[in-house]
Structure 1
């Protein structure tokens, strides 16, 4: 009976014999034929290889570009990969033609699901579905094991290939599974409690001999890394608690504790005596600031997890920002650089596998993985040299140079996988995660601090910057130039709204501009010198400039969206009425640049990113839509920009406070600026100061999720300010509370 079953199994798994190849070729019109199904499998294998290569090379470009088409292509590749792999695996199971390479192809296909280190999740919602991904992965792995047990029973090369690739598959799939789980809200809340407990009392560290010093970072024991991050340690600790019943935390606060001897803190990094981190080896603090960014990134994660810090802790960080990062004249460059790297860590945590890959022991794991990859590729190559395709007499089985199509497909898969792995090792080796890991090891190991070769190696790695971290652009929108824009009714309708984001009338971006250095300087200088821990919506700047007190009415409107749009219209009016040229002073040109660029940037946020602004998102959208309707009515018959400005000048002179529309208010404000303030340079100084204060005013936000989502769209300048103000605990102040304004609540 047993012999009969083995005979039947071998018969079932034997290659399907095709008696008439010409008949087969005649039936190729139907994809259900054996050769048609084989052709589908081969094409899907090659297609998946290129999908993986694309995701690896372009996955991280999402944070460097706001291009809508690029995001669509990446989303398509990310989504298609799962369905293509599932469909190909199903075809392999149903195909009447049996090939010994099917399990090898299946292994490479499954590797594609977890191989893209640069994109583990496309959106935050993917992280919340980590259990779904894990169960799908387990089911596919079980299916893969069954497939290997049926196919591999005689060839040793095939067995070695399967074992090596299977180990690599398990490691990579596990990395992605744990990255998704770690970035989910539940896991984030659980894992960041230890940081929240530590930071809740960190400001009480009164044992600093000479007090807190924000330049030398003395007294700043912010966490960079600690031994407990090792997942092996966490498993051992969990087993210890389960077996020996670990003692409870101390009442009444029940805080989780850390062994301070094993901590790497900002203070220790700045106090390192090694030459690499000394004033001679790191004169501009660029290497040490990587660790500062990493420590601040951990604090920023507390915002996402819903933890809050005491006011004293925020005051200490505000002191670090104001008297440390911004202490020098060009300190805004350093502060912006620190925030840029901090947001890089945050992006990688939510959307890539780097936070999991760079856990303690990562180098050993990656070396073992690389070894298995090499062994798997060697075994696959050895298998191909002895491979004989089923039904090899069919001309379709070879290409003109007498090379088997199966061998060609497998070779393409191997080459693409080699390129993918080398590319990922390269980018991983020079990532900010690798840099902070090496620096912390350097601080921890005194023997490294006396080794010139290690210092040169770490210094070379840390000073390499392959690509810019973010898009570094200010997106622009002008209502005077785009109010007449009508969205395509073919794509923007009730039916298509179910499938794609809808464009609204008037929603047409102007060309984005590179983020001006002057804008960064003005914003950070205003933050340092002019404002405390409370912000107003431009009223402070107007009160400082005595000539502009009569403009305060434009800051006391029903919603902040109306304030932005009214001042934007007025600034656009001044831009065309009072253009600035080379004959004007440098100060006037700088004020003009700051005012116009920030005006159009905040108008862009109203039109395209309402969740980043203070008002309720739908209130912002509704006000914008109404402003477009009003603009079309107001500018009816105006075919050129000159005609619109002329009409604003004529209507604005005779408008009164009783006219409540956004367009009329904007025209009235613009005429006030031009006619009541005699000095042109003063007009642009008032507008520049106003927009600088307003962009700081709108930056604090409780909608942390919205900022996390915009990290995948090139990054927003407002998100950089939001991160900085979050650390400092700076909040906006509502000088007036209009009855129609809807206050936002925490959304994450």
Structure 2
């Protein structure tokens, strides 16, 4: 192939015949074109792939953290981190200022060799900047966790990113020789080391390295301080020791005043002195069971700002803008979070039987009608603190009061750099396009034979400028997004709000009067809620054994599900208020039915207790046989609930005019609660069986077997009229019950059909049937929530949280720490608490 546009460079051999003789062979030129083309396109492909991978990392790490701990995304993170150094080393190694490519010819061609000299200014600047930007984006997704060794594994600063940064800096400095490296330390152009473009490119290339080093140092310093802090790293041991001493004080007071009060005497003023902030402001000494304050006996009379306890915040008169119930509850969530950390640290003898704590929790929260939203919000905020503590770098930044400000400052510097770099990228790209064209690399090549060299050379351009600019802009935007998210996380963080609440509310009254405007501004700021910081999306999964329109096994989704053994189909729905009300009513009923005076005996069983409260419900006790497992009972009642949901008698839904009857809200609320909790329990068996009492493999296989049997029985035998609330005709209802009763091989399907038919034919009517089901499912979800398997709930919190995890934490603070069946009497109990 004859190269185009020969450019004579004159000089070495002026004989025209010799020049003609040394014309480059076509196959040598083709080989050179192919080699350089493959090299530049491979580099471009890696640039684009790394930009896409970085987008996934930033998106998941910053905005979808619940997906950060799934297996697939963990594999993506591991692959991106493992392949980064080889990719960078390969791409950067092709950018040397004097990268020559020789294609040697064979002897029969006269020993002709093709020599090429390739060079570029804009391309190396962009590629090296790209390498540093990838590391900046990766740094924003890394979590540094400084916790007690009993809670799990600490996660230290990302030193591997520092190593990668140093290696990239070395590659950049070595391949550019003195051209860019000297420009880094100059403020004016130099004839020896390039002009203004080279000078500014040097700053753009190496400035991210300084930011990376500063951020890693900040994370290291914060981690070191947080690990030694009694407010952060060593907090569980201090809280445990503090609660032990509080228990001794409480026992002494009980002896002096004739014993504790009952739970029914709920007084908000009896707020326990739980630790909120300021643990590092007190002298601490080590004890066999943990750490204690050396001046713990005088803390009740202390009025300084340092140590703040919950009762001190609760005594605020409400006149301050930061004394609203919502902000007080946030401090309550923070104090409860510290108790839950003790549970995760496996302080098994944590005094959950603290009379004042349990009494306050029941009296101030659980026994108040209409406060279901408040109760779940307090626990959801608590689990948000748990998520931040174990899965983000946010808590360590509060080891010192100035660390969040420094973190915000570095993020603002990074954002400013991205803006400046984007501007100069556009300017330099336009300049390069005008002067040099839109290629990434330009090569001058010529041929030689032995000692003879042609005086004529040719030029070839490779690549396209857009492959430098596009990944660069993508990475700059991603880094900006990550940094903006970091800044907003500090501003909107509940950690910041708790610190401000305690500082403002516990300041002296004179200081409040002096800075009244500032206090009002702080109060307005604290009222602002940012949904981005809420890790639980208030949604629950829904699955069902009886599906009106199942996905055919021959479809792509069905084939993939069978191939990879995926769980059952699911959908996420917002938790209805009816579900929350029903659960809280069941918990209050369990407390009101307690008759024990020596220890709190909450009557939470596997649904039997709720059935025994009504005359009609007692006829269904056979479906809660103590000889059956919890999973079997769940599936039996789930099938029955589905049957009742499909079969809604027309007399209860329409009047003689055909219009919807004006029913009271209660029956509809019972139906909503029962159907949603039924499908949520089925979802737990299919997707999260580890959160249920029995062996997870057994529970999941039981669900899958029952579903497969139901699909086999119903295949071709019945066609549902449609998804609920469409009613099922009488003939189809009878056929459904007959097929499940006679055609199924699984006992839970037979029992479910029997129970469903009994519910449909209940003499008291549909409203009573739904009330029975709502009470049963509320008690069932409460009875399976307590657990000593801390790892599964920690993993659930990492994924964003589950309703059952919220209930697990709620029951723990209420003093209920065991499931029915864990105790001899079959009821969930709190260990020795007096209420």
Q: TM-score, normalised by structure 2?
A: 0.69
- Structure-2 residue corresponding to 1:4: none
Query: Where do 5+ consecutive residues of structure 2 fail to align?
Result: 1-23, 98-123, 146-150, 186-199, 442-460, 595-600, 654-659, 721-727, 826-835
Is 1:503 matched up with 2:566? yes
Q: Which string of whole-angstrom CA distances, capped at 9 and with x for unpartnered residues, describes residues 321-379 of structure 1?
A: 22002353322121111111112222222332222233322233225424643775688
Is 1:733 matched up with 2:820? yes
Alignment match of 2:579 (pick from 511, 519, 533): 519
Change (3 A) 1:177 1:128: farther
- Structure-2 residue corresponding to 1:460: 524
User: How many Å separate the matches in 2 of 1:304 and 1:560?
Assistant: 26
- Structure-2 residue corresponding to 1:615: 694
Q: Which string of whole-angstrom CA distances, capped at 9 and with x for unpartnered residues, describes residues 132-154 of structure 1?
A: 98453343244245346545641
Q: For 1:447-486, list aligned pairs within 5 A.
A: 449-450=512-513, 451-467=515-531, 469=534, 470-481=536-547
Residues 27 and 33 of structure 1 are in contact (CA less than 8 Å); yes or no, is this contact kept in structure 2?
Answer: no
Change (3 A) 1:180 1:87: farther
How many positions carry a matched residue from both structures? 672
1:610 CA displacement: 0.9
Alignment match of 2:496 (pick from 434, 443, 449): 434
- Structure-1 residue corresponding to 2:4: none
Moved more, 388-397 or 306-315: 388-397
- Structure-1 residue corresponding to 2:630: 560
Alignment match of 1:249 (pick from 271, 279, 286): 286
- Structure-1 residue corresponding to 2:64: 59
Q: For 1:178-257, list aligned pairs within 5 A.
A: 192-206=236-250, 216=268, 218-228=270-280, 249-250=286-287, 253=289, 255-257=291-293
Change (3 A) 1:594 1:369: same
User: How many Å separate the matches in 2 of 1:654 and 1:41?
Assistant: 61
Change (3 A) 1:633 1:268: same
Q: Which string of whole-angstrom CA distances, capped at 9 and with x for unpartnered residues, describes residues 554-574 of structure 1?
A: 112421000001111122222
- Structure-1 residue corresponding to 2:164: 140
User: How many Å separate the matches in 2 of 1:480 and 1:141?
Assistant: 56
Change (3 A) 1:489 1:632: closer
Change (3 A) 1:464 1:713: same
Alignment match of 1:270 (pick from 297, 314, 328): 314
- Structure-1 residue corresponding to 2:620: 551
1:522 CA displacement: 1.8
Q: Which string of whole-angstrom CA distances, capped at 9 and with x for unpartnered residues, describes residues 33-55 of structure 1?
A: 66446535653564466446534
Change (3 A) 1:407 1:474: closer
SS in 1 for 2:48: helix
Q: For 1:259-408, list aligned pairs within 5 A.
A: 262-272=306-316, 275-277=319-321, 282=324, 285-311=325-351, 313=353, 315-360=355-400, 361-370=402-411, 372-373=413-414, 393=436, 395-397=438-440
Q: Which string of whole-angstrom CA distances, capped at 9 and with x for unpartnered residues, describes residues 251-293 of structure 1?
A: x545454765632221122234684357xx62xx001111111
User: How many Å separate the matches in 1 of 2:71 and 2:30?
Assistant: 38
- Structure-2 residue corresponding to 1:90: 89
Residues 639 and 756 of structure 2 are in contact (CA less than 8 Å); yes or no, is this contact kept in structure 1?
Answer: yes
CA RMSD of aligned residues (A): 4.6
User: How many Å separate the matches in 2 of 1:632 and 1:412?
Assistant: 48
1:640 CA displacement: 1.5
- Structure-2 residue corresponding to 1:424: 486
Residues 65 and 799 of structure 2 are in contact (CA less than 8 Å); yes or no, is this contact kept in structure 1?
Answer: no
User: How many Å separate the matches in 2 of 1:180 and 1:567?
Assistant: 50
Larger radius of gyration: 2
Q: For 1:581-600, list aligned pairs within 5 A.
A: 581=653, 582-583=660-661, 584-600=663-679
Change (3 A) 1:699 1:148: same
Point out the structure with the larger helix share.
1
Q: Which string of whole-angstrom CA distances, capped at 9 and with x for unpartnered residues, describes residues 505-550 of structure 1?
A: xx223x4432111221121122123345432111111111123323
Change (3 A) 1:735 1:686: farther
